[in-house]
Amino acid sequence: MERRLNGEACAFCCYGCCIAFQVKIGRHEEWEAAWLLIQLGVGGFLSMNIMMFSLLLYSDAFIGVDAGVLPWVHLLLWIFATPAVVMLGGPYLREMWLNGIQGRVTSSALIVLGVAAAYLYSAFAVFEGSTHVYFDTAVMVLMLFTVGRYLEAVGRARAARDLEPLLAAESEGATVVDGAAEIRRPVREVSAGMLVRVRPGERIPVDGVVVEGESNTDEAVITGESRQVTKGAGSKVIAGSINIDGPLLIQSSGDGTATRWARICRSVREALGRRSPTQRLADRVVGVSVPLVLALGGLTIVYWAQSLPFDRALLIGLSVLVVACPCAVGLAAPMATSLGIGRLARHGCLVRDPGVLETLARVRLLAFDKTGTLTAGKARLVGVDCEEVCIDEVLARAAGLERLSEHGLGWAIAAAAAQRGITPLVTRDVRTVPGRGIRGSAEGRPVAAGNGRLMNDLGWPLPPSLTERARSLEASGHSVVYVGWGEQVHALLSLDDSPLPEAQAAIADLRERGLDSTLLTGDLAQAAERIAALVGIKDVQAGLSPEAKRLALDRLRHDYGSVAMVGDGLNDGPVLAAADVGIAVGSATDLARETAALVLPADGLWMLPWIVDVARAVRRTILTNLMWAFGYNLVALTFAAFGLLQPILAAAVMAGSSILVVVNSLRLERLPDPVPALIPEQRSGAEVERARHTVGASVMAGSAVERS
Amino acid sequence: MTYYLVIFAAGFAGSFHCIGMCGGFACGLGRDQRGGGATVARHLLYNTGRLTTYCFLGGLAGALGQVICTTQGSMATPLLNGSLDIAQRILAIVAGLLMIGMALQFFGLLQVFHRLALGFGGSTFAMSLRSLLTARSSAAPLAFGVFNGFLPCPLVYAFAAQAASTAGAVPGFLVMASFGLGTFPAMLMVGGVGRILGPAWRRRGVRLAGGFILLLGLITLGRGLLPSDAHIGHAWLGGLPA
């Protein structure tokens, strides 16, 4: 047979050889896993011997055996069973004790009591000379539960596999270069200015600038985009990204604990430690069911003891305890949730609250903030309308003023002028007029750029052709800047904030999944409606203060049940916190990040439909897991209570049930990766296209008016 | 007794195949730093673990065969009188054919059993065992042997089938015990206790093992097909103890 191992085709005589090879070449060394395996192996050795002697006892070979031999076989069984019970039962006893001193009765109590009853009864029987011993039951129940737990642990390890390298690299540290020496230090001890060496394949531990070397890096965990970015001397690198193929020497630009990656790691750790509502519910059910099952076990023994010998009744009671162990119920939600969290984290989506995935799966409406969420949050100059002057002159005067401005619109104008290669006119006595605009003087004449009120204050008239144009531009939601000099308004600059290229596709994909979208914004109605129309949102509520947004969200929640809010701005903090699921997206502010339950990477809007898919798959998995676990427990409990299920069989099926839950959850790993509606290359192409279109539009608009 | 000696011999011949397959594990366990005595103890523990698993599987397979035969016998009126009922004959035919198939595979003629074993998910198992090989605890080789015994292997399948055909926990146990003990010398030899045989000798050993398995398979098949009066298994090997 041939198998591919580490990318190479290897030939083996059989599957056993193949496994043998994998074991030999592996470098995986984990003492804890080994110790558990040793326990399992030695426990297996003892329990298999017990089973064999028991099989011999049951076998017809021993029918009619000399009664004198039986006590010796029983003694031998006791000798094998005692260390097995101590070794395999120890962890359960410890668990029961630790929970017991906190006043909690958990599933470990069921196992310990069941096994202790079988073992003690049998030990008593050995020394009393009785004919029936149940060491095989006691030991095999423990063995099967331990095997089940081991397989659960393997499943959990696979669930955490996505997070393991991420979290391990953070705790591993950074190689700090100090003169000729290279010292390994914890990431938290790296401060600004230190030189850090990052070898190929390592994760970059701190934010910084490349001083030496060139390499490709993968920034997926931060940006969500799995594409390689080439970094050379002078390039900025982000902590958490992976250095792929060349050594890099980096100068740290800040504290190791203050990086976004460190925050992600902290949040993921916290999220994994918390419990989702379903988990809490399952815990409560388990907490209530265990004492009930103990009582039921006791009642079963009492009931059957009236018609059967005591050891038979005890065995039926033991089956009840073993079969009712709610391991699968306890595992149903955390297994699926941690797989979901790991899956999202691998693509840079940070889950701060494990319950969020279950809630998101139920959501029927997503409310979006506009600026910075659906749009880039940066104004762009999209048109110049002028009368009897050329566009270049308008832009030179406007840029002369605006390059000193601190207003977003001003920056956009200065940037557009620079993009067209226009030199700003030297402007003196520049001062801003709050809420109005900016003014100064150039070439000995006053010059001003601002809104209509500034022009009114200055008493500069607006030509009739531009008045009409200004009205239509404002009606269509554009921001309009009037530019005037020589005591007259000469031009109108129209600016707007375009929707992100991926927004429309994301909204359409969400609609395909049956999710409605609405726009809640503090911006003007016209601007909001224009953006909403462009991205495909019908329902718009504009001009909302943060408080009004919260009230609007409450109303929506009343109509739709659970509502998710997607936002980024400082003013989105309260509404993100108030929503059932707060999703911070884009270059979200710290407040938005702190209040949101789910944080998407920068430019991560396109991932929203995929996240909804993952959340729904997680919820579906949890529900099927719970249905299976509860259903199984109820059916099996009934069989056991009627004496129709042997304890060993009960343990086997119980362990099998847990494994089924693990296997069902692991199906989440097969979910496809997110596919951007626009892949990065296409997206950058689309941005270029949009920029070209923007400049073209301004020239066309300007020329049209010039000609008139 | 002769029957179990044949199985022991088959196990011994088959262990040349084990050198190629499980020998890697034995080498992986290696020598003990504390000296020769400790090394022998280490490898004896490993092989004892392996043997325990084989015996367990044998007992289990035998018991299963017994359950099948008893159930069949109790449900249907026996069609044939004599020592073997119809279910045991069917079991013997199935086991015999399985063993003949395995034997052919040892001669390089039939590869279907390798493909059958392929479906078994074992990478997790392998990952887990890896950590045991490096553990320093004295109990680790024993644990390792126990797990090693469960690895899918055509030889183990063949003798487990033979054990099932005996239709009794005790003879099943004894079949696998004989087989397991037969593999002891070669496995101790490669495990740092002795010297490793060259590939040519291993090939000859594998052929010899194939011969033994073929012989046992034919005998088992004969037990199922031939009238009980002409039963070669009983006549030639002294019968089964069951």
User: Could you report the per-residue pLDDT of B34-78, keeping only the tens digit for each?
Assistant: 777 788 888 888 889 989 999 999 988 888 888 777 655 444 344
Q: Which residue has the higher pLDDT, A655 or A101?
A: A101
User: What tokens does A49 get?
Assistant: 């011997």
pLDDT at A603: 74
Distance CA B132, CA A315 (A): 36
Query: What SS3 state is found at A661?
Result: helix
Q: Which residue has the higher pLDDT, B75 or A188?
A: A188
* Residues of A annotated catalytic, as ranges: 369
Instruction: Answer yes or no: do A35 and B49 touch at CB < 8 A.
Output: no
> Among A617, A583, A618, which residue's Cα sits nearest to residue A601?
A583
Instruction: Collect all residues of chain B within an 8 Å Cβ-Cβ radius of residue A33.
Output: 128, 131
- Alpha carbons within 13 angstroms on the beta-carbon side of residue A557 total 16
Instruction: Collect all residues of chain A within an 8 Å Cβ-Cβ radius of residue B22.
Output: 16, 20
Angle value at C-alpha A420, between A417 and A426, nearest 5 degrees: 40
Query: What is the average per-residue pLDDT within A196-209?
Result: 85
- For residues A271 and A354, the answer to whether their CB atoms sit within 8 Å is yes
Q: Which residue has the higher pLDDT, A563 or B192?
A: A563
Q: How confident is the model at residue A386 (pLDDT cuts 50, 70, 90)?
A: confident
pLDDT at A59: 64
Instruction: Answer yes or no: do A55 and B59 touch at CB < 8 A.
Output: yes
| Residue A613: pLDDT over 90 | yes
Strand order in the sheet with A228-231: A228-231, A215-218, A242-243
| Residue B169: pLDDT over 70 | yes
**A139 at interface of B, judged by CB pairs closer than 8 A:** no
Work out whether strand A479-485 and strand A488-496 pair parallel, antiparallel, or are unpaired: antiparallel
Identity of the residue in B124, B139, B168 whose CB atom sits nearest the CB atom of A38:
B139
Distance CA A658, CA A652 (A): 10
Q: Is A365 left (phi over 0), alpha (psi -120 to 50) or beta?
A: beta
Distance CA A575, CA A596 (A): 9
pTM over 0.80: no
Distance CA A511, CA A49 (A): 62
| A102 burial type by CB count under 10 A (0-12 exposed, 13-18 middle, 19+ buried) | exposed
Query: What is the average per-residue pLDDT within A150-177?
Result: 66
Instruction: Answer yes or no: do A41 and B144 touch at CB < 8 A.
Output: yes
> Among A86, A273, A250, A246, which residue's Cα sits nearest to residue A167?
A273
pLDDT at A611: 94
Query: What SS3 state is found at B33?
Result: coil
**Which residues, 6+ apart, have CB-to-CB distance to B41 below 8 Å?**
B32, B138
pLDDT at A681: 44
In terms of C-beta distances under 8 Å and separation of at least 24 residues, what long-range contacts does A405-413 make, across chains too?
A405/A432, A405/A438, A406/A432, A407/A432, A407/A438, A408/A378, A408/A379, A409/A379, A409/A479, A409/A481, A409/A495, A410/A438, A410/A449, A411/A379, A412/A378, A412/A379, A412/A380, A412/A381, A412/A495, A413/A381, A413/A449, A413/A481, A413/A493, A413/A495
| Residue A159: pLDDT over 80 | no
Render pLDDT for A479-536 as a digit per residue (tens, 0 to 9).
788 999 988 898 999 888 778 888 888 999 999 999 999 998 877 788 788 889 888 9
Instruction: Collect all residues of chain A within an 8 Å Cβ-Cβ radius of residue B130.
Output: 22-23, 26, 28-29
**Which residues, 6+ apart, have CB-to-CB distance to B242 below 8 Å?**
A61, B166, B167, B168, B170, B171
Distance CA A136, CA A271 (A): 42
Nearest residue in B to A152, CA atom: B124
Interface confidence, given as ipTM, is 0.71
Residue to test with chain A: of B42, B48, B50, B114, most A Cβ within 10 A: B114
Measure CA of the first residue to CA of the last residue in chain B; give whole Å. Answer: 12
Q: How many H-runs (helices) and E-runs (strands) does chain A carry?
A: 24, 24
Instruction: Collect all residues of chain A within an 8 Å Cβ-Cβ radius of residue B26.
Output: none
Percent of chain A whose predicted confidence (pLDDT) is above 90: 11
> Among A639, A640, A634, which residue's Cα sits nearest to residue A301?
A640
Measure CA of the first residue to CA of the last residue in chain A; give whole Å. Answer: 81
Identity of the residue in A20, A61, A154 whose CB atom sits nearest the CB atom of B124:
A154
CA distance to partner chain B, nearest, from residue A674 (Å) = 27
Across the strands, what pairs with A61?
none
Render pLDDT for A422-481 as a digit per residue (tens, 0 to 9).
888 888 888 887 777 888 988 888 999 988 888 888 888 888 888 888 888 877 777 788
Q: Mean pLDDT: which of A75-79, B199-203, B226-230 is highest?
A: A75-79
Render pLDDT for A347-360 as a digit per residue (tens, 0 to 9).
878 887 778 888 99
Q: Which residue has the higher pLDDT, A322 or A130?
A: A322
Nearest residue in A to B21, CA atom: A17
- For residues A53 and A77, the answer to whether their CB atoms sit within 8 Å is yes
- For residues B221 and B57, the answer to whether their CB atoms sit within 8 Å is no
Alpha helices in A407-502 (DSSP H): 408-419, 452-458, 464-475
Instruction: Collect all residues of chain B within an 8 Å Cβ-Cβ radius of residue A21.
Output: 24
Residue listed under structure tokens 């099998």: A656
Q: Is the dihedral of CA A358, A359, A365, A371 positive or negative?
A: negative
Query: What is the average per-residue pLDDT within A244-259?
Result: 82
Alpha-carbon distances, residue A257 vs A191, A346, A589 (angstroms): 9, 20, 18
Residue listed under structure tokens 């054919």: B97
User: What tokens does A616 get?
Assistant: 């729904």
Residue to test with chain B: of A25, A31, A48, most B Cβ within 10 A: A48
